[in-house]
Amino acid sequence: MSLPAEPAERHRVVAAGFTDRVRGAVDWDTPAPVPGWRARDVVGHLVGWFPGFLSTGTGLELDRGPSVAQDPVRAWQVHADAVQRILDTDAAAVVFRHPMVGEMPLPEAVDRFYTTDVFLHTWDLARATGQDERLDEDTCAVLLAGMTPIEELLRSSGQYGPRVPVPDTADVQTRLLAFIGRDPLSGR
């Protein structure tokens, strides 16, 4: 199965997958695969960084829900719904201008930077909470192919851990996760 190509539809599908893991989480304080994070920190990361990024690049403000500490499920749902509304309305015609990434249509910026982050962190939340860890194989392949040539740039950003060694014969999801610094072959 491949994810939809259109940014609004891709976000809808990726956010729904993450929402399923959010709703299925029981222990929000269980350790996540990102060093120093707990399950709630995965949600906190996504609802935390994107509103400022969006506002800086467009002046648009997202609706805010309760804090992740109070209610991670509701915090995520309000956030995800607000992002989807932007992609589904005329705001999607806005040009995104950001000093770090340049200028592009807002849907492209959301897709490239945010939806991809949600996609990758779906695995983190699933692993932390003992849920279905499977990611779309085609998307994993596209991301790995796109990230590999810019590995040095990605690592220098501080957003990715060191590559974790995995067998060359590992499936594409395992190779992508290892590329971004996760250890998908460990038990947790």
Q: Tell me the domains of the chain and their CATH numbers.
A: 7-135 (1.20.120)
**pLDDT for res 47:** 98
What CA–CA distance (Å, rounded) separates 162 from 180?
A: 7
Residue written as token pair 């929000």: 28
Q: Detail the DSSP E strand segments found in 63-156.
A: 95-98, 102-105
Q: Are 7 and 87 in contact (CB under 8 A)?
A: yes
Q: Radius of gyration (Cα) for the chain, nearest Å?
A: 16
What distance in Å separates the CA atoms of residue 88 and residue 9, rounded to the nearest whole number? 9
pLDDT, tens only, 88-110: 997 778 999 988 888 999 999 99
Q: How far is CA 43 from CA 13, 47, 83, in A?
A: 17, 6, 14
Q: Which of 69-73, 114-118, 131-135, 156-160 has the lowest mean pLDDT?
A: 156-160
Please give the pLDDT value at position 175: 97
| Amino acid (one-letter) located at 150 | I
pLDDT of residue 16: 98
The whole-model pTM stands at 0.94
Q: Say if residues 34 and 125 touch (Cβ distance below 8 Å).
A: no
Q: Which of 96, 95, 136, 97 is nearest to 118 (CA)?
A: 136
Name the 3-class secondary structure at 109: helix
